[in-house]
Structure 1
Amino acid sequence: MTSPRVLLVCGSLRAGSTNEAALRAALDAAPPGTSGEVFGGMGALPHFNPDDDRDPPPAPVAALRSAIGAADAVLFCTPEYAGALPGSFKNLLDWTIGGGELSGRPVAWINVASPAAPAGGADAHASLRKVLGYAGAEIVEEACARVPVTRPDLGPDGRVRDPALRDRLGAPLAALLAAAARGPAERP
Structure 2
Amino acid sequence: MDNRLIERILQGDRSAFRSLYDEYFDYAMRTAKLVTKHEEWAKDAVQETFLRIYRNIWQYDRSKPFKPWFYCILLRECYRVMEREKKVVPLSEQLEKIGVEQKLPDVSVDVYEALQSLDDLYRIPLILKYLHDYSEKEIADMLDVNLNTLKSRLLKGREKMKKGLGGERYGTES
Q: TM-score, normalised by structure 2?
A: 0.26
Structure with greater strand percent: 1
Q: TM-score, normalised by structure 1?
A: 0.25
